[in-house]
Structure 1
Amino acid sequence: LMKDKNDFQLNISWFIHIHEDDIPLCERKTVTDFCYLLDKSKQLFNGLRDLPQYGHKQWQSYFGRTFDVYTKLWKFQQQHRQVLDNRYGLKRWQIGEVASKIGQLYYHYYLRTSETSYLNEAFSFYSAIRQRSYYHQVNKEDRPELVVKKLRYYARFIVVCLLLNKMDLVKVLVKELSEEIEDYTQRFNTEDQLEWNLVLQEVAAFVEADPLMILNDDNAVVVISNRLQEGGVPPLEQGMVVGQLTLADALIVGNCNNQVKFSELTIDMFRMLQALEREPVNLATQSSKPGTLEPNEKPAKRENPHKYLLYKPTFSQLYTFLSASFKELPANSVLLVYLSATGVFPAGRSECEGPYDFGGVLTNTNRDVVNGEMVQKRNQAQKEMHCLHPGDLFPFTRKPLFIIVDSSNSTAYKNFSNLFGQPLVCLLSPTKTGNIFNICLTFFFSFR
């Protein structure tokens, strides 16, 4: 710890001017401690990207340490705001950056744990940034990188609001983001203008992707959640026993060409992940102050199935995540694999009818896609290598498996073999009326 602090002194030397003797020792220590916490928090946050994306346990201790440092940093800047303003020159956008990082932590912790309550925690921090105008002064500074921080904050806030079905707020945020991007592109001649305009187009298309509107008796729009409501579990049929099998893990794969998406979340992935979750509980109401809950605290045992969201994975990536889920699947548990992907069809009629002869669904590749649907092979005698064939999933039928294929070539999986006698369900979309399948998917799921 002392070594870190000694190394860190170089980063704060700028704030101690010629009149360093005029700065009381206690205030100098306050600034030093703040800078140390700020630097440590950045190191830990940057280290998150190096953690394995799969597995349930390897990353938890690191997340815990990161949460701990950010909690200390947030409380420290609250307790010593006046000293930091006067001696360090703390700006409001810097406070906003800390709050934004905490929001990102909660969001990524939600992705890791599937506990929707952490979405509310992310929302509380993102909302506070907007309400307190932490980024308001950024536009007055001639620093495009600060404006980009603000734009990224808006994009992340929109994702969280989408997942919480706060559609009215999403529309307001999109309008504000549009104004911010317009101001940014007018003030700075940067290379990322087209990228930010594309972000706007994506989120606008995402919001408009579902034309279905439900009105109440007063003709007001009602937002219907796809998540499982408290007390909304359908009753068991006669003779069924609770707890025989539990849906524990789910891989949600999105690899459709030209499908509406925002960030790395397609509309199909968005709908399916909500169908596998319970309505979130606001954890802030159970703690002394909003945003102070430790990530290892849980309000009650109400776990959602653990999920991996894979946007356009390669075959090796998909197989790695499948193997990790299979390895860590608890006893009496089911692994769900949802494949929303472009169909890959065989180039010609095969004399055999094996698990690799009917094509499958596309995995990510840089090769061109013909007609938006069909991937052609260079050598018709060989099988398509950038494809998840039914036979590729056979090893995972050693444990209970639930497969959903939403694809133009879903029929490739219709004769899926159950080689090991374990529970197996294959739910296949129609090949021509997939939209109806998407609407009905939610009603197939209830997990206990």
Structure 2
Amino acid sequence: MVRGARQPQQPRSRLAPRLTGTVEKPPRKRRSRTEFALKEIMSSGGAEDDIPQGERKTVTDFCYLLDKSKQLFNGLRDLPQYGQKQWQSYFGRTFDVYTKLWKFQQQHRQVLDNRYGLKRWQIGEIASKIGQLYYHYYLRTSETSYLNEAFSFYSAIRQRSYYSQVNKEDRPELVVKKLRYYARFIVVCLLLNKMDVVKDLVKELSDEIEDYTHRFNTEDQVEWNLVLQEVAAFIEADPVMVLNDDNTIVITSNRLAETGAPLLEQGMIVGQLSLADALIIGNCNNQVKFSELTVDMFRMLQALEREPMNLASQMNKPGMQESADKPTRRENPHKYLLYKPTFSQLYTFLAASFKELPANSVLLIYLSATGVFPTGRSDSEGTIKECSLLISGCCFRIKT
């Protein structure tokens, strides 16, 4: 575990099994590949016969876990983005292997430093992958508590300066890893409304990009400068600040807090219908966005979420902690975020969501797209009665 940061907690019992403390033995079919890599790694540490058997096994097990974690992580991109049943078991295996890898490098850090040559940026890369796992699991489950787990790992990377030595190596691909880490960290902080941290990260990212473009003449300089422009425009799009009587900034959130839930209207029955799924689509031209997340999509997804448990305890009024700690926890509605999808993608996600919709549940469709208004079709008061939304060449007609 990173000193000063929390150990990665298992998101749920059904997501990943508990850490047993033992590392599974690598299959025989992988031994030759791992042993070949082991010889290459240990060549600088002295004769291979002089290395104790226990240390050899430690490096072998670490190489196996590292290789297995990369395979599972790379396989995540092949999982379908729609549907909720196909990816659960795969995420569970991936979390389990990364948990073992993280604990293993903590327990055997000295041996890995001496025999494997473990560098700090490699530890940071493992922590960054775990942060990505938590973030993507949040996207698939809408459970905001996983955002806090992602923030913990990303914050630990920054506090422990795991990527600090990357700039001293003449390897642009390592610097790109660092830049991508900053971009992902900014997205998580935006979703958690940590604007002070966001501003610091943007300043650090700007300095890193300037150093990167100065040292390496690469083709992606324009792309990284565009990233800076997008995040700056995203921050400026919501400049409202709430101040206390002493002029200190109050952290506000678009998420639903325990104290902010409206009362039911007279005659309404609790639990009659529940919002289970939401399809949030952004397809406007020239819209402010960052990382395929437009401003309106950003606000809408937060409006459909409850506050994370630990964040809610800080923001709720005194005396309301008891309600936040009740064992009965209501899940957030599952969301699909689609930025400029094709009609085929929109139809596929809509069909998959409707197919898995539970009984007495509701599917919300939020569609933000460029309007196409017909000419000469208005009533006597000049009110438009009909318009269309344009998505990937297909028009959706809307009547008012």
TM exceeding 0.5: yes
Partner of 1:445: none
Partner of 1:80: 108
1:152 matched to 2:180: yes
Query: Which residue identity does 2:262 align to in structure 1?
Result: P
Secondary structure of the structure 1 residue equivalent to 2:298: helix
Distance in 2, Cα, partners of 1:248 & 1:4: 43
Partner of 1:184: 212
**Within-5 A mapping of 1:214-233:** 214-233=242-261
Distance in 2, Cα, partners of 1:348 & 1:253: 29
Equivalent pairs, count: 352
Partner of 1:9: 35
Partner of 1:389: 396
Partner of 2:280: 252
Partner of 2:229: 201
Residues 182 and 201 of structure 2 are in contact (CA less than 8 Å); yes or no, is this contact kept in structure 1? Answer: yes
Secondary structure of the structure 2 residue equivalent to 1:308: strand
Residues 390 and 396 of structure 2 are in contact (CA less than 8 Å); yes or no, is this contact kept in structure 1? Answer: no
Partner of 2:119: 91
1:20 matched to 2:48: yes
Query: Which residue identity does 1:11 align to in structure 2?
Result: A
The alpha carbon displacement at 1:234 in A equals 1.4
The alpha carbon displacement at 1:224 in A equals 1.1
Partner of 2:371: 343
Question: Cα distance 1:143–1:347, how it changes in 2: closer, same or farther (>3 A)?
Answer: farther
Structure 1 unaligned regions, length at least 5: 286-298, 350-356, 365-385, 391-411, 415-448
Question: Cα distance 1:163–1:14, how it changes in 2: closer, same or farther (>3 A)?
Answer: same
> How far does the alpha carbon of each residue in 1:273-310 deviate from its partner, in whole angstroms, 9 at most, with x for none?
00000001249x9xxxxxxxxxxxxx753200000000
Question: Cα distance 1:174–1:110, how it changes in 2: closer, same or farther (>3 A)?
Answer: same
The alpha carbon displacement at 1:359 in A equals 5.3
The alpha carbon displacement at 1:347 in A equals 7.8
> How far does the alpha carbon of each residue in 1:84-131 deviate from its partner, in whole angstroms, 9 at most, with x for none?
000000000000000000000000000000000000000000000000
> How far does the alpha carbon of each residue in 1:365-400 deviate from its partner, in whole angstroms, 9 at most, with x for none?
xxxxxxxxxxxxxxxxxxxxx22424xxxxxxxxxx
The alpha carbon displacement at 1:348 in A equals 8.5
Question: Cα distance 1:300–1:34, how it changes in 2: closer, same or farther (>3 A)?
Answer: farther
Identity %: 82
Deviates more, 1:264-273 or 1:335-344: 335-344
Find the partner of 1:71 among 99, 116, 125: 99
Residues 387 and 399 of structure 2 are in contact (CA less than 8 Å); yes or no, is this contact kept in structure 1? Answer: no
Secondary structure of the structure 2 residue equivalent to 1:149: helix
Find the partner of 2:191 among 143, 149, 163: 163
Partner of 1:405: none
Find the partner of 2:61 among 24, 30, 33: 33
Deviates more, 1:210-219 or 1:309-318: 210-219
Secondary structure of the structure 2 residue equivalent to 1:273: helix
Residues 359 and 387 of structure 1 are in contact (CA less than 8 Å); yes or no, is this contact kept in structure 2? Answer: no
Question: Cα distance 1:128–1:311, how it changes in 2: closer, same or farther (>3 A)?
Answer: same
Distance in 2, Cα, partners of 1:358 & 1:313: 23
Distance in 2, Cα, partners of 1:104 & 1:90: 21
The alpha carbon displacement at 1:313 in A equals 0.3
Find the partner of 2:153 among 125, 144, 149: 125
Aligned Cα RMSD in Å? 1.9
Secondary structure of the structure 1 residue equivalent to 2:83: coil
Secondary structure of the structure 1 residue equivalent to 2:253: coil
Residues 344 and 387 of structure 1 are in contact (CA less than 8 Å); yes or no, is this contact kept in structure 2? Answer: no
Partner of 1:396: none
Query: Which residue identity does 2:138 align to in structure 1?
Result: Y
Query: Which residue identity does 1:12 align to in structure 2?
Result: L
The alpha carbon displacement at 1:221 in A equals 2.1
The alpha carbon displacement at 1:71 in A equals 0.2
The alpha carbon displacement at 1:346 in A equals 5.0
Secondary structure of the structure 2 residue equivalent to 1:194: helix
